[in-house]
Structure 1
Amino acid sequence: MFQRDFIMNEARKFALMLAKLLGLKAEGEYEEYLKYFNEVLDEEYNAELDELLKLDEDAFKKRLTDANYSAEKLNALGQMLYVFAEPFTANEETAALLKKVMVIFNLLQTEHHYESFDNVTRRNAIHKYFETNYERT
């Protein structure tokens, strides 16, 4: 019972965090959005965006695996990075972010046996981005 309550509280916390990020981005409050985004990365994941971007896919996966995040926390990070990458422009930063989102989605599926329709839809959008901009990267 306690574990289920903990998981539900974590899911609520991350849902509220994502809602705030989406709201700030939608309202065009980019400075506030970026500030909050970086605060969440620091507080919840002990990371900085530039640091994560510098990691290749294997090093990123190792960092996540070593941190042993819950499925909810991993999913929230994937959603954060996906939203941060929007709108998808054909540049190296966006490609690096989306590759990391795919690493997260793959970890969720293989290690946590977690899949959602939202993640499947986003995975398809990422595949389309790479097919369109990088011809099967």
Structure 2
Amino acid sequence: MFQRDFIMNEARKFALMLAKLLGLKAEGEYEEYLKYFNEVLDEEYNAELEGLLKLDEEGFKKHLIDAGYTSEKLNALGQMFYVFAEPFNNDDKTAGILDKVLIIFNLLETQHHYESFDNITKRNTIYNYFKNTHDRT
């Protein structure tokens, strides 16, 4: 019972955090959005945005595995990066962020046996982005 309550509280906390991030971004409060994004990364993931973005794919995957995040925490990170990448500009920075989202989704599926329709839809959107802008699938 305690573990279930803990998981529900974690999921609720991350849902509220994502809602706040989405709201700030939608309202055009980019400075506040970026500040809160970095606070969440620091407090919840003990990480910095720039440090995570600089990691290559293998380094990023290793970092995630070594950190041992729960599936809820890992999924929240994937959602945060997905929102951060929007509106999917045709540039290397966006492509790099979306590659990291795919790494997170792959880890969720292979290591945590976690799949969701939302992540499948986002994965397909990312594949379409790469197909249309970077000529890769």
Tell me if TM exceeds 0.5. Answer: yes
CA offset digits 1:79-125 (Å, max 9, x no partner)? 00000000000111101100000000000000011010100000000
Matches within 5 A, 1:1-137: 1-136=1-136
Q: What is the identity, as a one-letter code, of the residue corresponding to 2:101?
A: V
- CA distance, structure 1, for counterparts of residue 29 and residue 65 of structure 2: 33
Q: What is the identity, as a one-letter code, of the residue corresponding to 1:45?
A: Y
- CA distance, structure 2, for counterparts of residue 52 and residue 20 of structure 1: 21
Give the number of aligned pairs. 137
Tell me the C-alpha RMSD between the 2 structures.
0.7
Q: What secondary structure is seen at the aligned counterpart in 2 of 1:88?
A: coil
Q: What secondary structure is seen at the aligned counterpart in 1 of 2:14?
A: helix
- CA distance, structure 1, for counterparts of residue 67 and residue 53 of structure 2: 17
Q: What secondary structure is seen at the aligned counterpart in 2 of 1:47?
A: coil
- CA distance, structure 2, for counterparts of residue 32 and residue 82 of structure 1: 18
| Structure 1 runs not aligned, ≥5 long | none
- CA distance, structure 1, for counterparts of residue 59 and residue 30 of structure 2: 29
Q: What is the identity, as a one-letter code, of the residue corresponding to 1:46?
A: N
Q: TM-score when scaled to structure 1? A: 0.98
- CA distance, structure 2, for counterparts of residue 49 and residue 13 of structure 1: 20
CA offset digits 1:44-96 (Å, max 9, x no partner)? 11111111111011110100000100000000000000000000001111011
| Structure 2 runs not aligned, ≥5 long | none
